[in-house]
Structure 1
Amino acid sequence: MDSIDLEVLKTAARWIDAGHRVELVTVIKTWGSSPRPIGATLAICDDGCVVGSVSGGCIEDDLIDRVRQQGITRTAPEIVSYGITADEAHRFGLPCGGTIELAIEPLSGSSKIAELLARLEQHELVARNVNLDTGAVTLDTAQAGAAQRIEGRVLTTIHGPRWRLLIIGAGQLSRFLAQVATAMDYHVTVCDPREEYRAGWQLPGVRLVHSMPDDLVIESRLDVRSAVVALTHDPKLDDLALMEALKSDAFYVGAIGSRMNNAKRRERLREFDLNDEQLARLHGPIGLYIGSKTPAEIAISIMAELTAVKNGVPQQLRMAHADGAGEATSDVCAR
């Protein structure tokens, strides 16, 4: 499963290869309420087909209508705004008089989309620099934490995995979690030294390693853009990874299991000289309570909690686990 950003780029590349004229639309600024964030993208083909989104749909409709009536005629990037007046905000469905500023860039073989995709296949984080006067493009390696920006007349967009997720265990739940995380622009690594669990694992774009979890956590040099989720139910594997992850700068560390199992886990980890502050960072039972029963539902609940933590949502605003939720999660994942 590709991220939305990657799906837009891959589709645009196919259209260019097929001889179509294509425009790439990027949200570069918003005021007031906006349905899509800065950096959201959309590609539109000369036949009116689109992929991606820059609004709730109304701006897309206007872009499609213009292409169908006038074709794609731009030869250089252009910045356009939607929703400046109250009438426009109402017409385009922008709430509370919100305004969106877009960069519309005509693409061609010289736009370096193919080269960008090749670098993204190697899990690189890439800065794509577009001269808004000429359309000239350069690609650079981006630094972790880099954000989209405009400096002078150059628009720099960031592409590739902005976050890292290390999953301990290669079971069924791990597959669903890895798929969802990959679609959310995480670089996912799955670690499982058990050969029987690694057999048959096939998930494009996800790295599978067989080293011991604690060794991998140390080697990964986890930073504030990293998360670790332990899903094996085997203390010999999960606890080793958690022991090192809770000492790191990872923004999220979680483990599968019931309340009782996680209480026992915390006592075991305390024996490894983890202090109260470090133990308090452990999320377990893992995930937001959504009544999840199946591995797919549990994966969604885990990513929901991970996303809330990443976005700085205060703990008191997050949904609390209902009594017994961890037991249900544990039973399903153990099968």
Structure 2
Amino acid sequence: MKAIAQDVLQHLSRWLNEENDQPVWLCTIVATVGSSPRPVGAMLACNHRGEQVGSLSGGCVEDDLLARLEAGTLSAERPTMIEYGVTAEENERLGLPCGGRLHVLVETLCHSDLDWVEAVLQALEARRCVQRQCSLANGHSEVSNVQRFHPLSMDENALTQCFGPSQRMLLVGAGQLSQSLAELATAMDYEVIVTDPRQRMLDAWEGPDVQRQAGMPDDAVRALADDDHSVIITLTHDPRIDDMALMEALETRAWYVGALGSARTTEKRLQRLRQLDVPESAIDRLHAPVGLSIGSKTPVEIAVSIMAQVTQLRVARERSE
């Protein structure tokens, strides 16, 4: 979801730089009732040429919005709220679930909005969280730094919307399991980076088109995954590679560190980490054997168990914040 938001903002930035006072619109789902095809916070951007990026429903709602925008029926002076799914007939026409409603806030942006758009993009590039507050009276937006990502909220005066960096997953090892895990993680909106000191493994990569980095894994951990939006998982089965990465990973701010291996392999790994003077408080952070115990055997099944555990813990973490 966050990577999609960044894509929307990048298009907005380009269009606002190019459009020469032609209208550019940002449409955001600010509330839902019942089932909905997209969550609160989902965004769609479009311009006067009919180009669009993002999604609110997967088709019919977008078409209706574009028709309204092209007809000029919405206010350009202040954000406008549109409700979809008021009647059963409208639900059927728009392809919305029975009883589902979407509340969409439509903003007409101009060149002056480029300041807040680029401020958000700069924060995301630096992997920081920021908050945008948009006045419902005049559409003016201000951006401020925040420590944590918070769900979108709105009252009678303003829309408050957080933007945070994508979850980053650093995979140590470029084997078959890493390829399966990268497939699932990218489909779930993670930014995946694969590191392996063995160039032959990187050369044989047949997984999705993700960043691949040669060199020692501890260097990659320090440079790429030392923040609380990161996940680090070792997958090589080679203690010379995995242990070096784990020693560094357990000292980072990464919120999840996992290691592949059986219970017996894990016990030997913990012994080695203690012999290397890794603090017990750091070792307690390690999820090993990695993934939920679902009886998985094949690479795809193991990847599913890992993503299930990561998802379970991420959701619990977000709810507690």
Both structures adopt the same fold (TM-score exceeding 0.5): yes
Q: 238, 243, 246: which one pairs with 2:242?
A: 238
One-letter amino acid matched to 1:213: D
Distance 1:235 1:227, change over 3 A: same
1:39 corresponds in structure 2 to: 41
1:284 corresponds in structure 2 to: 290
Deviation at 1:266, TM superposition (A): 1.3
> Which shifted more, 145-154 or 76-85?
145-154
2:54 corresponds in structure 1 to: 52
1:26 corresponds in structure 2 to: 28
The 5-angstrom pairing of residues 77-88 of structure 1 reads: 77-88=79-90
1:120 corresponds in structure 2 to: 124
SS in 1 for 2:241: helix
SS in 2 for 1:54: coil
Distance 1:289 1:71, change over 3 A: farther
Structure 2 residues not aligned, in runs of 5+: 275-279, 317-321
8 A Cα contact 2:186 2:192, kept in partner: yes
Residues in 2 aligned to 1:180 and 1:171: alpha-carbon distance in whole angstroms: 15
Q: 153, 159, 163: which one pairs with 1:159?
A: 163
2:151 corresponds in structure 1 to: 147
Q: TM-score normalized by structure 1?
A: 0.69
One-letter amino acid matched to 2:12: A
Deviation at 1:59, TM superposition (A): 1.1
One-letter amino acid matched to 1:267: E
Deviation at 1:235, TM superposition (A): 1.2
Percent identity at matched positions?
A: 37
The 5-angstrom pairing of residues 71-220 of structure 1 reads: 74-112=76-114, 113-161=117-165, 163-169=167-173, 186=190, 194=197, 196=199, 213=218, 216=221
How many pairs does the alignment contain?
Answer: 301
2:277 corresponds in structure 1 to: none
Distance 1:301 1:60, change over 3 A: farther
SS in 2 for 1:111: helix
Distance 1:61 1:310, change over 3 A: same
Q: Deviations over 1:49-77 (max 9, x none)?
A: 32111123221121122234447752221
Distance 1:265 1:179, change over 3 A: same
SS in 1 for 2:45: strand
SS in 2 for 1:156: strand
SS in 2 for 1:161: coil
2:268 corresponds in structure 1 to: 268
SS in 1 for 2:107: strand
Residues in 1 aligned to 2:296 and 2:68: alpha-carbon distance in whole angstroms: 42
Q: Deviations over 1:173-199 (max 9, x none)?
A: 76886687577565666666x385899
Distance 1:3 1:246, change over 3 A: same
8 A Cα contact 1:21 1:72, kept in partner: no
8 A Cα contact 1:29 1:100, kept in partner: yes
Structure 1 residues not aligned, in runs of 5+: 313-335
> Which shifted more, 48-57 or 159-168?
159-168
Superposed CA RMSD: 4.4
Deviation at 1:30, TM superposition (A): 1.0
Residues in 2 aligned to 1:305 and 1:76: alpha-carbon distance in whole angstroms: 43
Residues in 2 aligned to 1:68 and 1:288: alpha-carbon distance in whole angstroms: 52
One-letter amino acid matched to 1:81: E
1:15 corresponds in structure 2 to: 15
SS in 2 for 1:48: coil
One-letter amino acid matched to 2:232: V
1:315 corresponds in structure 2 to: none
Residues in 2 aligned to 1:11 and 1:183: alpha-carbon distance in whole angstroms: 21
Q: Deviations over 1:120-143 (max 9, x none)?
A: 223332212211111111111122
Deviation at 1:43, TM superposition (A): 0.7
Distance 1:13 1:226, change over 3 A: closer
Distance 1:52 1:99, change over 3 A: same
